[in-house]
Amino acid sequence: MSSPRVVAIEPSSPAERAGLQPGDEILAIAGEVPRDVIRWQILTDEPEIDLVVQRDDTRFDVVVTKNSGEPLGAEVHAALFDKVQTCDNHCEFCFIHQLPKGMRRSLYLKDDDYRLSFLYGNFTTLTRFTELDLERVITERLSPLNVSIHATDPEIRADILKNRRGAVSLRWLRALLDHGIEVHGQIVVCPGVNDADVLDDTLAGVLERFPELTTICVVPLGISKFSKQSRMREHTLTEAQHVVDLIAEWQATFLATVGRRLVYGADEYYLMAERPFPDADSYDGFPMHEDGIGMARTLEAEFYDPLVTEPTGPRAGFFAWVDGAPADGYRAPRIDSPASVVSVGAEPADQPVSTPVTLLPRPSAPIAVLTGTLGAPIVAPLIEASGRDDARVLAVPNDYFGGNIGVTGLMVGEDIARILAAEPEGHRYLLPDVCLSRGVFLDGMSVDDLPRPVEVISTDGAALRTALERR
């Protein structure tokens, strides 16, 4: 297990006053070696903190005094200081198994770690969950957690996870709910495997065994061109429509029995089924917005309401916890600027060199909004409503992953570069930040490498409105 290493000190903070410096390793806090940033936050919440610090070859003690609850003001290098609890399931639909070779090593790590569920919204199957884990979650109130359900029938769930423990691991879900832990569930639907009658039975099982769940998100599987699983395939139009209809039926049932809709369909399902999105009110406050539930409606609301200046909810994106994710969770502020023009040919650095948006290209230049193919029909009406006849959607087909991958968060530099190379110079190209981590795409390309300058904007309707209004 590594020790937390300080990477930044906030000016005028208790950490700075105590003499802590970037590069310091914190060997112990109040005699305890923290396993992760969760324990770090708990231990550093006290008004007096005893630290054992390693600086180069010197070890010494530091006492930090501050107000109770006041942040220490020291940023650490990672969220987990011990090893990530890796996933030993072998789900046929797992997107990690469908990645091409040659990507960054961190992207191939499959986790099944409840701590990353708490910090970043990752989903855990609970197949590696233990009594000690349960005790810690309850004691430290690590809530909410996200749990992958997929099926409530034990044999079907074990088959989907390709893990015999999948047949029994939902007992931990029952225990979490019994102790008042807020849990969001997810069902990844695979046509011919856990859709149709199996999905119907699964939702019936939720009502019978887990009615305290806060939400159940029903999402379609993603298939890249690198998938080797013959049983995995895309939904047909009829299958997608059946899922949407089933969700509506069960929402009515849950509303009548537990007083909540409980189950929600991913935006992708309504696009695939060629059905309108549900009304915004039917999302009940968008509790699983970051899982692709109701993002179209929130984008509309943010865009049309001039009083809205902040995103409705977090945009976690895929691989939310790797490669530069804030150590205190995805709810922390993003490093990428909400709106900037990234200069082509900037000097290499940890992140691209940005210049104010008032510089080249000019604000009055024609605008193209880059988006995944699934996002295009959502963004297009907003652009039309803006009144700018020089603005358009520029959909980016995902040739890198192929298959049915069309979400904006999985756009890569290679595909964007190919599209931009055929576009005129001097136009403004708006790029949603959800596809970036520290200015880098999943394929390792930087925004510096794109053939045209782009404005990186926050992935929300308010940021889109502001960018379109800028002239």
pLDDT over 70 at 203, yes or no: yes
The two structure tokens encoding residue 76: 């650490």
What is the pLDDT averaged over residues 295-319? 75
pLDDT over 90 at 118, yes or no: yes
pLDDT over 60 at 330, yes or no: no
Residue of 144 and 345 predicted with greater confidence:
144
Least confident of 122-126, 166-170, 352-356: 352-356
The two structure tokens encoding residue 77: 């290098």
- Residue 98: pLDDT band with limits 50, 70, 90: very high
Give the residue from 470, 417, 440 showing the smallest Cα distance to 335: 440
Task: Give the pLDDT score at 395.
Answer: 98
What is the pLDDT averaged over residues 444-462? 94
Percent above pLDDT 90 for the chain = 82
Q: What is the CATH number assigned to the segment(s) 96-293?
A: 3.80.30
Task: Give the pLDDT score at 312.
Answer: 66
Task: Give the pLDDT score at 344.
Answer: 32
The chain-wide mean pLDDT, for the chain, equals 89
What is the pLDDT averaged over residues 373-381? 96
What is the pLDDT averaged over residues 372-385? 96
- Residue 289: pLDDT band with limits 50, 70, 90: confident
Q: Are the C-beta atoms of residues 43 and 30 closer than 8 Å to each other?
A: yes
Residue of 36 and 331 predicted with greater confidence:
36
Task: Give the pLDDT score at 106.
Answer: 84
Q: Give residue limits of the domains in the chain.
A: 6-76, 96-293, 339-469
User: How far apart are alpha carbons 16 and 175 in whole angstroms?
Assistant: 42
- Residue 337: pLDDT band with limits 50, 70, 90: very low
- Residue 69: pLDDT band with limits 50, 70, 90: confident
pLDDT over 70 at 334, yes or no: no
Task: Give the pLDDT score at 360.
Answer: 62
pLDDT over 60 at 184, yes or no: yes
Proportion of the chain in helix, strand, coil states, percent, rounded to 5:
30, 20, 50
User: How far apart are alpha carbons 447 and 440 in whole angstroms?
Assistant: 7
Backbone angle region of 207, left / alpha / beta, with phi > 0 → left and psi within -120 to 50 → alpha:
alpha
Q: What is the CATH number assigned to the segment(s) 6-76?
A: 2.30.42.10
* pLDDT tens track for 249-285: 999 999 999 999 999 999 999 999 999 999 999 999 9
Model pTM?
Answer: 0.88
CB contact set of 340 (below 8 Å; sequence gap of 6+) = 354, 355, 356, 357, 455, 456
- Residue 306: pLDDT band with limits 50, 70, 90: confident
Place of tokens 């087909």: 397
pLDDT over 90 at 325, yes or no: no
Residues facing 372 on adjacent strands: 396
